[in-house]
Amino acid sequence: MKLYIKAISSYRSDKDESNLKQVLKQQYKVDVRRKDDFIYAGLYGALRLQEKVSIERDNELYLTSGFGNLNILAKMHKYMIENKEPIKLFDFINMLGNTTSFYVASMLGIKAKTLFQISDNFTFFHTLIMIYASLQKSKNEAILGTIDIVSENEEVLKRIAGIEEKTSLVSAVHYQKISLNPKDALCVLEFDTKFYTLEEVKKIIENTNLHVRFSSRCQALHKEGKPYFETDVVEVIYNAIQNNEQTLYVECYGQRYKLLYQFQL
Amino acid sequence: MANILHTHFISALGDKEQTLDAIKKKHFHMDRKSVRAIEGEVSVPYYTFKEEVQDTLNGIYSVMKKIVHQSIKGLTSEQKAQTAIIVGSSIIDWNVIDAIESSNYAYKRKAFSSLKRSMDSYAKDLSDEFGLNGFTLTINTACTSSANAILEASNLIDSGLYPYVVVVGLEVFSVNMSSGFYAMQLLSSSSIKPFDTQRDGTILGEGVVALLLGNEQTPWRVLGGFSNCNGVNITSVSEEGDEFVEVMEKALMMTQIDKENITALKTHATGTLSNDISEMNAIRKIFTKDIVFTALKPYIGHTVGACGALEIAIFMGCVDDGFIPQTLNHENAISSEYRPLLEHLACNKGTFMFNYFGFGANNTSLILQKESL
């Protein structure tokens, strides 16, 4: 399968220390009331993409994340379970997965398919496969946002992510405009539905001339110790575009591996 | 073309057989649950499973495993190894709650795990348990979650990527979800009364359902549909229902079905003040007054993330049994010319539209067709 990237935006909290709520309010004049950090991140990333490319009413919108909005659940858990207080209306609204996608779609003027989804093992890869299948039928283009926010209590994220306590965390948001059509594309992503074994991946790596990049989960292949966020594959794509590199990205989950080829056009 | 090969489910009326039998007899059964409101603990009507399913990781997984097993037991090992799974649900991610409690309370502290968990972990665990192919996804778009899962599953099959996809719809009682609906003043104190002038809200319910979709020939085909995000705000669309009109018309267009060829419409019909009037206005703009339409929520409650797949599975079961179920609790129509079915209607085949209009302005219309047996 091939999907073409028309534009891409990148935000990482360790490289850009902006207060997203303030930036949204002052620079972009976005109504920030009744929203939270996860939604701010989703909106900010989308606006950064919109500065680079036109977004159409019929573009499909897909938002994915390693874990979703952790802070709202922690907040609600504290006052509902610990303090036995009633639910707060806008916390309930912000807890629902597609609240963020509604705000993003509304802001971008998208009136097409809008999904919020997570895939435990390969959230970016499986979303790409789904987008490919959908665009085959709809003939539209897609906006794909990946949102990973560090929980206020970092231990919560480390526990659910299954990563070591000493790992440093960053929040990151990336958006891409994706198409089946290569016209005006920055690069092409090539991928398949197959899961690879470690041995298969090792052989492929030995025989490639591409820059090979690894997910922080691929400890059996590469121990880099980079800051963690679940959807770091998108930043690899972003950096490869900036550096004009052809890249092979290796993701793994348990004993299963997936490969993503990224070629500049 | 994606076909529906098997369905299996449980609802407040019991297992598949019990549910279909109760609907045929026009029965329904409600219990009560407590929600947490400003005025304190409040008891509200609720469609609860006959056998309680604990709102815990293990409780939810056990019931999903049972239902998914029933839906795929006819597949060979080789076929299972080519089967993807997509879950549609709006339930709280208990993996996160577990991590929160482990982090915040010394007495609940567990050792760190190297296992990543998320709301998709049920799907991953099911995939591993049954030897499926490892493609998993969990869609969380509130009331349209599992309807969207069916649409995505049909895309995956139609594009030739996977020959089989299991779609799972999941909803069990959650204090948070029910309290949220109560806080939004969406819950009825008595019954769901679709398209009725006396309607005063919806009643939530539990449901777990699995649909096995595949490219093998069966009587039931998913022709396709359309989904969008379009509303005046996060909780509603316009009273005129133009947003619903768009999604229904595009579903017809995508499937190349003329509206005159729709045998019947399964409405979303939550029984809330705003949703029902918008849906009724949309129906009036698309169909003539002869359109056959019905609502299933009075039988099983509003099963939120599960309702997309569950209401399709129930509707299929009824048509396979030779009828379209009547709409319960309807007396005074909000539109005198457009009334839902007031008696079961004989029907064993046709082309059917299924509406799902959810929170977050997420709207989905699917079209299925059943050929003669």
pLDDT in tens, A154-188: 999 999 999 999 999 999 999 999 999 999 999 99
Residue that is last in its domain, among A143, A160, A187: A187
H or E, element range at B283: helix B273-286
User: Residue B234 and residue A99: Cβ atoms within 8 Å?
Assistant: yes
Same domain, A47 and A100: yes
Residue that is last in its domain, among A138, A163, A187: A187
- Strand, coil or helix: A175: strand
Q: Is B185 on the interface with A (CB under 8 A)?
A: no
d(CA B137, CA B89): 11
What's the pLDDT score for residue A225? Answer: 81
User: Residue A95 and residue B176: Cβ atoms within 8 Å?
Assistant: yes
Reported ipTM exceeds the 0.90 cut: yes
Count of A-B CB contacts under 8 Å: 221
Q: Is A180 on the interface with B (CB under 8 A)?
A: no
Distance spanning both ends of chain A, measured CA to CA: 16
Query: How do beta strands B207-214 and B164-171 pair?
Result: antiparallel
Number of other residues whose CB lies within 10 A of the CB of residue B235: 17
User: Residue B118 and residue A68: Cβ atoms within 8 Å?
Assistant: yes
What's the pLDDT score for residue B85? Answer: 98
Domain count, chain A: 2
- Residue B37: list chain A partners with CB under 8 A: 86
- How far A104 CA lies from chain B's nearest CA (Å)? 10
d(CA A180, CA B342): 48
What's the pLDDT score for residue A224? Answer: 78
- How far B84 CA lies from chain A's nearest CA (Å)? 10
pLDDT 10s digits, B288-335: 999 999 999 999 999 999 999 999 999 999 999 999 999 999 999 999
Greater confidence (A225 vs B356) lies with B356
Q: Is B96 on the interface with A (CB under 8 A)?
A: yes
Q: Rounded to an integer, what is the distance from CA B34 to the centroid of its chain?
A: 23
d(CA B18, CA B24): 10
What's the pLDDT score for residue A121? Answer: 85
R_g over Cα of chain A: 18
Q: How many residues does chain B have?
A: 373
What's the pLDDT score for residue B8? Answer: 98
Greater confidence (A17 vs B24) lies with B24
d(CA B221, CA B199): 34
- Strand, coil or helix: B207: strand
What's the pLDDT score for residue A226? Answer: 87
Q: Is the predicted pLDDT of residue B112 greater than 80, yes or no? A: yes
- How far B372 CA lies from chain A's nearest CA (Å)? 27
Let me know if B254 is exposed, middle or buried by CB neighbors in 10 A (0-12, 13-18, 19+): middle
Contact present, B134 and A252 (Cβ < 8 Å): no
Q: Could you give the percent of chain A with pLDDT greater than 90?
A: 90
d(CA B296, CA B312): 10
What's the pLDDT score for residue B115? Answer: 87
Q: Is A90 on the interface with B (CB under 8 A)?
A: no
Identify the domain containing residue A8 by its residue range: 2-187
Same domain, A54 and A164: yes
- If we measure between CA atoms, which residue out of B362, B364, B89, B23 comes closest to residue B222? B364
Average pLDDT over residues A182-206: 97
Contact present, B174 and B92 (Cβ < 8 Å): yes
pLDDT tier for residue B373 given thresholds of 50, 70 and 90: low
CATH code for position A154 = 3.40.47.10
Identify the domain containing residue B262 by its residue range: 3-370
What's the pLDDT score for residue A37? Answer: 96
Same domain, A256 and A173: no
Query: How do beta strands B220-229 and B362-370 pair?
Result: antiparallel
Which of these ranges, A163-172, A209-218, B26-35, B98-107, has the smallest mean pLDDT? Answer: B98-107
- If we measure between CA atoms, which residue out of B275, B282, B205 comes closest to residue B251? B282
- Residue A116: list chain B partners with CB under 8 A: 139-141
Same domain, A12 and A122: yes
Number of other residues whose CB lies within 10 A of the CB of residue A69: 27
pLDDT tier for residue A82 given thresholds of 50, 70 and 90: confident
pLDDT 10s digits, B334-367: 999 999 999 999 999 999 999 999 999 999 999 9
The token pair that represents A120 in the structure block: 């435990």
Average pLDDT over residues B166-189: 95
Q: Average pLDDT over chain B, rounded to whole?
A: 96
DSSP B95-130: HHHHHHHHHH-GGG-----S----TTHHHHHHHHHT
Same domain, A165 and A209: no
d(CA A145, CA A100): 11
- List the 100-139 stretch of B: residues with Cβ below 8 A of A: 100-104, 112-121, 123-124, 133-139
Q: Rounded to an integer, what is the distance from CA B54 to the centroid of its chain?
A: 20
Same domain, A173 and A229: no
Residues in contact with A21: Cβ distance below 8 Å, sequence separation at least 6, in sequence order: A32, A37, A40
User: Shortest CB distance from A92 goes to which of B93, B133, B183?
Assistant: B183
- List the 335-364 stretch of B: residues with Cβ below 8 A of A: 358-362
Q: Which residue has the tokens 């705003």?
A: B274
Q: Is the predicted pLDDT of residue B188 greater than 80, yes or no? A: yes
Same domain, A150 and A196: no
Same domain, A170 and A209: no
Same domain, A194 and A175: no
Q: Is the predicted pLDDT of residue B147 greater than 80, yes or no? A: yes
Q: Is the predicted pLDDT of residue B35 greater than 70, yes or no? A: yes
Contact present, A11 and A175 (Cβ < 8 Å): no
Same domain, A169 and A217: no
Residue that is last in its domain, among A187, A213, A247: A187
∠B75-B117-B208 over CA atoms, to 5°? 45
Residue B204 φ/ψ, nearest 5 degrees: -80, 160
d(CA B261, CA B369): 11
User: Residue B158 and residue A77: Cβ atoms within 8 Å?
Assistant: no
Residues in contact with A264: Cβ distance below 8 Å, sequence separation at least 6, in sequence order: A186, A187, A240, A241, A244, A245, A246
Q: Is the predicted pLDDT of residue B182 greater than 90, yes or no? A: yes
Torsion of CA A222, A227, A232, A238, to 10 degrees: -100
- List the 193-252 stretch of A: residues with Cβ below 8 A of B: 193, 195, 217, 230
What CA–CA distances, in Å, run from B212 to A29, B166, B216, B221?
A: 47, 5, 11, 12
pLDDT 10s digits, A30-79: 999 999 999 999 999 999 999 999 999 999 999 999 999 999 999 999 99
Domain count, chain B: 1
Q: How many residues does chain A have?
A: 265
Q: Is the predicted pLDDT of residue B94 greater than 90, yes or no? A: no
Average pLDDT over residues A144-150: 97
User: Shortest CB distance from B152 goes to which of A76, A86, A134?
Assistant: A134
Number of other residues whose CB lies within 10 A of the CB of residue B149: 31
CATH code for position B290 = 3.40.47.10
Residue B110 φ/ψ, nearest 5 degrees: -120, 165
Contact present, A144 and A176 (Cβ < 8 Å): yes
Contact present, A2 and A190 (Cβ < 8 Å): yes
pLDDT tier for residue B226 given thresholds of 50, 70 and 90: very high
DSSP state of B327: P
User: Residue B361 and residue A129: Cβ atoms within 8 Å?
Assistant: no
What's the pLDDT score for residue A65? Answer: 96
User: Shortest CB distance from A195 goes to which of B134, B152, B361?
Assistant: B134
The token pair that represents B131 in the structure block: 């030897």
Question: Amino acid letter at B4?
Answer: I
Same domain, A109 and A91: yes
What's the pLDDT score for residue A83? Answer: 85
Q: Is the predicted pLDDT of residue A133 greater than 90, yes or no? A: yes
- Strand, coil or helix: B73: coil
The token pair that represents A97 in the structure block: 């997965």
Q: Is the predicted pLDDT of residue B263 greater than 70, yes or no? A: yes
Same domain, A130 and A168: yes
